[in-house]
């Protein structure tokens, strides 16, 4: 009996030992917190950069991943001290049909074809992956103002890498409206460049490819609701498409102006702002980019002209003159022809009788 | 078969009915010359007369056919051979070549220009892809423009320095008679008057066509040059001048094209008298019939001169004989 007792004790011991061993292999969040709640925890990278390894656990517990354990993502963090961890792969949970219940709307395919995805695939370590835009520990729904992908925060998110562009964008009319005036209808980076499907501007599929610029701008600048609400100049896109610039670009001309050729790409300002490329004094320089030797004569007259409207000034009257001239002349000629044919028919009938 | 076919041609149904009507009328007139009849009686007599007329007509026809059968009358062919018409010179070779260059240039300009004006239509896209792009079309448009400007300058020199040109220009100048002619023609067309207008060398239609081209030419060439040499033009003029040029170029293009399609096509092609086309632009000549109908006064003038020439020739002969 003693032997049996010893064996049973031994079994309990072994079982408890193995259970203990299993739980030890997956450290709990509490264990990570021991070190990572220290704001001064830092790491020196091989290239000399110093990055913080501090995690704000209180903030993390309000994020969408609040119920996840650290080790679910940092799967290689099994030993202490956890050194040289690899970058987290979001696809471990976020794939179609996953059992963890993670959202599967992730646009990996669009991302893979985008300029960022391609660079990543080619081994560019600077190219952004999911966590570079969406954040790592503090991911929130994009409606949440804490989210990095919240509309108002997108410029900063992109600006983390695209510093020069961000510094220009934030003072532009679009950046001011979005960031200072909190007008959510104003475009962030993603509204013009796309989100996961960002392409280079020389890619014909890009939303900012030279033939696509007017389409992209038109989403807001030909939207009557927005135009009325924010007092944006009426019909710039329509008049552009009617102009020779618009017609030429439509039929494949490569060296013709699109919206951003004149209004600038990111440094877009109102026309009465001296910083604007279309401020009256800057027009010769702006037009001169394509029309060498453009003088101040280029600024004497409106640019976006709709000849059917009175605002077009003298163009309106020229257009009206020709409209009525054409109508009246054609009407008179057609009436004459009808009378002539009618008379010929009468004469012919009489002749037969 | 042969005969029966001829028979039908000789006595078409229309004339048979007409003939019967005439005979009926004759008999009726004879019967009712001095009578006053009641309506009922009138109807009855009318019926009788109708039957009688039919009988007589049949008899008459039978007799005639019998005659024809015996005599085997030769029936003249229905269509007489057209006599060789006298032709008058109308357009000199010089003018014909000018017209052809004008026509070709204008066609090129219309074909390459309209797709820009109506760029939203599907065929604009089709046209540009077919021709090899907007750039090719633009070059062709300028080739057309060069042709048009060239022929315009040549025409001005032609008017100024050639005898023919000066004479034609004098004839083409608008006169009060043109307004009068138009008024007469309108009255004629509306059936108010029976007389037609009599025209000299150029009708008001031709004059309108000619001067319309002048107006179009001035607008299109001036505005076109501004658009062609935009950089240079904007060194001299403010931008709104170029905008006016663009608007005018586009609008006048439509006016000119409509005028060609509606007015010129009607007068030179679709008009039943000209269909399928007035061949003068190729042959340079005009038939006597057309001359009489459309340029009566000129025709009379030519005939007078011919008579004078003939008389002079006769006098010359007489003198020779005397000599």
Give the integer Cα–Cα distance in Å for B176 and B66: 65
Maximum Cα–Cα distance across chain A: 143
Residue-wise pLDDT for B257-282, tens only, equals 999 999 999 998 988 888 888 888 89
Residue B87: beta bridge partners? B287
DSSP structure string for A167-236: HHHTTSHHHIIIIIS--TTS--HHHHH-STT---TTSTTSTTSTTTHHHHHHHHHT-HHHHHHHTPPS-H
The least confident of A7-11, A332-336, B109-113, B127-131 is A7-11
Q: Is residue B271 within 8 angstroms of chain A, CB to CB?
A: yes
Facing residue for A333 by CB, picked from B238, B241, B263: B263
Residue for token pair 């001829």: B6
Select from A210, A211, A205, A213 the least CA-distant residue to A187: A213
Contact A313 B272 (CB under 8 A): no
At B3 the pLDDT is: 45
> What CA–CA distances, in Å, run from A101 to A64, A104, A129?
12, 8, 22
Count of beta carbons in the 10 Å neighbourhood of residue A166:
18
At A17 the pLDDT is: 58
Question: Does position B89 have pLDDT exceeding 80, yes or no?
Answer: yes
Residue-wise pLDDT for B45-70, tens only, equals 888 888 888 888 888 888 877 877 77
User: How sure is the predictor about A22, in pLDDT bands with cuts at 50, 70 and 90?
Assistant: low
Q: Name the residue of chain A whose CA is nearest to B219's CA.
A: A322
Q: How is residue B175 written in tokens? A: 């006169």
Residue A44: beta bridge partners? A50
> What CA–CA distances, in Å, run from A210 to A260, B135, B292, B307?
9, 17, 64, 76
Residue for token pair 């000399």: A48
At B6 the pLDDT is: 46
Q: Helix crossing, B163-172 with B134-161: angle to 10°? A: 100
Please say whether the beta carbons of A154 and A170 come within 8 A. no
Q: Is residue B97 within 8 angstroms of chain A, CB to CB?
A: no
The least confident of A77-86, A243-252, B102-111, B268-277 is A77-86
Contact A323 B251 (CB under 8 A): yes
Contacts of A295 in chain B (CB under 8 A): 234-235
Contact A301 B128 (CB under 8 A): no
At B72 the pLDDT is: 62
At B127 the pLDDT is: 93
Among the ranges A4-18, A32-46, A195-209, A315-329, which has the highest mean pLDDT value? A315-329
Q: Name the residue of chain B whose CA is nearest to A283's CA.
A: B239
Residue-wise pLDDT for A182-213, tens only, equals 888 899 999 999 888 899 988 888 999 988 99
Helix (H, G, I), strand (E, B) or coil at A256: coil
> What CA–CA distances, in Å, run from A185 to A150, A195, A218, A223?
13, 16, 13, 11
Give the integer Cα–Cα distance in Å for B92 and B115: 35
Of B247 and A43, the one with more pLDDT: B247
Give the integer Cα–Cα distance in Å for B49 and B21: 11
Give the integer Cα–Cα distance in Å for A118 and B52: 107
Of A353 and B141, the one with more pLDDT: B141
Average pLDDT over residues A273-277: 93
Q: How is residue A70 written in tokens? A: 């650290």
Contact A343 B186 (CB under 8 A): no
Contact B243 A305 (CB under 8 A): yes
At B76 the pLDDT is: 57
Contacts of B224 in chain A (CB under 8 A): none
Question: Does position B84 have pLDDT exceeding 80, yes or no?
Answer: no
Question: Does position A25 have pLDDT exceeding 80, yes or no?
Answer: no
At A168 the pLDDT is: 94
Residue-wise pLDDT for A81-137, tens only, equals 777 778 888 888 888 877 777 787 667 888 888 999 999 889 888 889 888 888 888
Q: Helix crossing, B163-172 with B204-228: angle to 10°? A: 110
Give the integer Cα–Cα distance in Å for B118 and B257: 13
Select from A225, A297, A211, A312 the least CA-distant residue to A259: A211
What torsion, rounded to 10 degrees, do the Cα atoms A158, A162, A167, A171 define?
-50
Of B112 and A235, the one with more pLDDT: B112
User: Is the complex ipTM more than 0.90?
Assistant: no
Q: What contacts A256, CB < 8 A, 6 or more positions away?
A: A245, A248, A249, A290
Question: Does position B242 have pLDDT exceeding 50, yes or no?
Answer: yes
Contact B247 A298 (CB under 8 A): no
Of B87 and B165, the one with more pLDDT: B165
User: How sure is the predictor about B323, in pLDDT bands with cuts at 50, 70 and 90?
Assistant: low
Question: Does position A263 have pLDDT exceeding 80, yes or no?
Answer: yes
At A330 the pLDDT is: 96
Interface test with B, best of A243, A247, A348 (most B CBs within 10 A): A247
Give the integer Cα–Cα distance in Å for B257 and B114: 9
Give the integer Cα–Cα distance in Å for B267 and B259: 11
Q: Is residue A85 within 8 angstroms of chain B, CB to CB?
A: no
Q: Is residue A289 within 8 angstroms of chain B, CB to CB?
A: no
At B96 the pLDDT is: 95
Q: What is the rounded average pLDDT for all residues in chain B?
A: 85
CB-side neighbour CA atoms (13 Å) of B113: 24
Q: What are phi and psi of A306, to 5 degrees?
A: -110, 105
At B1 the pLDDT is: 39
| Percent of chain B as helix, strand, coil, to the nearest 5 | 75, 0, 20
At B210 the pLDDT is: 94
Give the integer Cα–Cα distance in Å for B26 and B33: 11
User: How sure is the predictor about B2, in pLDDT bands with cuts at 50, 70 and 90?
Assistant: very low
Q: How is residue B158 written in tokens? A: 């032609």
Contact A301 B247 (CB under 8 A): no
Our CA-based measurement puts residue B255 at a distance from the nearest CA of chain A, in whole angstroms, of 5
Interface test with A, best of B187, B209, B251, B264 (most A CBs within 10 A): B251
Residues in A 215-244 with any Cβ partner in B closer than 8 A? 244
Stated as kind and residue range, the H or E segment containing A76 is: none
Percent over 70 (pLDDT), chain A: 94
Chain centroid offset of residue B216 CA: 23
Give the integer Cα–Cα distance in Å for A188 and A172: 11
Q: Taking the CA atoms of chain B, what radius of gyration do you get in angstroms?
A: 32
Q: How many CB pairs under 8 A join A and B?
A: 101
Residue-wise pLDDT for B135-189, tens only, equals 999 999 999 999 999 999 999 999 999 999 999 999 999 999 999 999 999 999 9
Residue-wise pLDDT for B174-233, tens only, equals 999 999 999 999 999 998 988 888 898 999 999 999 999 999 999 999 999 999 999 899
User: How sure is the predictor about B4, in pLDDT bands with cuts at 50, 70 and 90?
Assistant: very low
DSSP structure string for A28-62: -HHHHHHHHT-TT-EEE-TTS-EEE----HHHHTT
Of A224 and A173, the one with more pLDDT: A173
Give the integer Cα–Cα distance in Å for A287 and B126: 31
Angle ∠(B316,B320,B323) on CA atoms, nearest 5: 135
The least confident of A110-114, B14-18, B92-96, B171-175 is B14-18
Give the integer Cα–Cα distance in Å for A257 and A253: 10
Contact A301 B239 (CB under 8 A): yes
Q: How is residue B160 written in tokens? A: 């100024």
DSSP label at B93?
H
């Amino acid at each position: 009996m003693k032997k049996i007792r010893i064996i049973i004790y031994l079994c309990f011991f072994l079982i408890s030992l193995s259970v203990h061993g299993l739980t030890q292999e997956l450290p709990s969040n509490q264990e990570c917190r021991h070190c990572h709640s220290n704001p001064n925890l830092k790491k020196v990278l091989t290239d000399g950069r110093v990055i913080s390894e501090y995690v704000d656990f209180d903030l993390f517990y309000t994020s969408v991943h609040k119920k996840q354990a650290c080790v679910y993502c940092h799967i290689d963090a099994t030993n202490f001290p956890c050194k040289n961890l690899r970058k987290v792969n979001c696809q471990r949970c976020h794939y179609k049909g996953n059992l963890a219940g993670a959202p599967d709307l992730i646009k990996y395919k669009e991302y893979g074809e985008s300029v960022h995805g391609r660079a990543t695939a080619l081994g560019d370590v600077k190219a952004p992956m999911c966590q570079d835009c969406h954040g790592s520990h503090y991911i929130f729904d994009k409606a949440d103002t804490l989210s990095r992908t919240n509309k108002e925060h997108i410029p900063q998110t992109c600006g983390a890498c695209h510093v020069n562009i961000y510094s220009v964008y934030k003072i532009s009319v679009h950046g001011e409206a979005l960031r200072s005036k909190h007008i959510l209808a104003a475009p962030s980076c993603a509204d013009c460049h796309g989100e996961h499907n960002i392409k280079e501007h020389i890619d014909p599929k890009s939303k900012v490819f030279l033939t696509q610029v007017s389409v992209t701008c038109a989403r807001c600048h030909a939207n009557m609701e927005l135009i009325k609400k924010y007092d944006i100049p009426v019909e710039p896109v329509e008049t552009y498409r009617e102009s020779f610039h618009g017609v030429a670009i439509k039929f494949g001309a490569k060296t013709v102006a699109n919206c951003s050729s004149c209004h600038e790409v990111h440094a877009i300002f109102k026309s009465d702002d001296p910083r604007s490329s279309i401020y009256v004094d800057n027009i010769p320089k702006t037009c001169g980019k394509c029309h060498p030797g453009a003088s101040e004569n280029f600024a004497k007259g409106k640019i976006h002209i709709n000849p059917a409207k009175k605002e077009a000034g003298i163009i309106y009257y020229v257009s009206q003159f020709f409209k009525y001239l054409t109508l009246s002349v054609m009407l008179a000629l057609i009436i004459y022809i009808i009378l002539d044919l009618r008379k010929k028919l009468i004469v012919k009938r009489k002749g037969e009788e | 078969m042969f005969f029966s076919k001829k028979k039908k041609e000789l006595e078409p149904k229309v004339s048979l009915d007409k003939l019967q009507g005439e005979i009926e009328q004759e008999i009726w007139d004879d019967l009712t010359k001095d009578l006053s009849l009641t309506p009922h009686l009138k109807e009855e007599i009318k019926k009788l007369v109708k039957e009688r007329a039919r009988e007589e007509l049949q008899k008459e026809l039978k007799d005639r056919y019998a005659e024809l059968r015996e005599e085997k009358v030769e029936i003249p062919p229905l269509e007489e051979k057209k006599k060789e018409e006298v032709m008058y010179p109308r357009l000199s070779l010089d003018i014909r070549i000018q017209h052809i260059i004008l026509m070709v240039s204008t066609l090129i300009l219309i074909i390459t220009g309209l797709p820009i004006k109506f760029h939203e239509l599907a065929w604009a896209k089709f046209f540009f892809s077919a021709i090899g792009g907007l750039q090719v079309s633009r070059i062709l448009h300028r080739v057309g423009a060069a042709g048009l400007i060239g022929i315009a300058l040549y025409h001005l020199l032609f008017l100024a320095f050639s005898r023919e040109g000066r004479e034609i220009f004098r004839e083409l100048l608008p006169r009060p008679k043109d307004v009068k002619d138009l008024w007469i023609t309108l009255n004629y067309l509306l059936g108010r008057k029976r007389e037609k207008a009599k025209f000299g060398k150029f009708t008001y239609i031709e004059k309108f066509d000619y001067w319309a081209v002048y107006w179009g030419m001035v607008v299109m060439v001036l505005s076109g040059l501004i658009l062609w040499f935009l950089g240079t033009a904007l060194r001299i003029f403010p931008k709104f001048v170029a905008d006016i040029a663009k608007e005018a170029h586009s609008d006048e293009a439509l006016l000119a094209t409509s005028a060609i399609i509606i007015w010129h096509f009607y007068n030179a092609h679709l008009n039943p008298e000209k269909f399928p086309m007035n061949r003068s632009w190729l042959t340079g000549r005009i038939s006597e019939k057309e001359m009489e109908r459309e340029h009566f006064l000129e025709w009379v003038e030519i005939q007078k001169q011919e008579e004078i020439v003939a008389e002079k020739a006769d006098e010359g002969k007489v003198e020779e004989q005397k000599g």
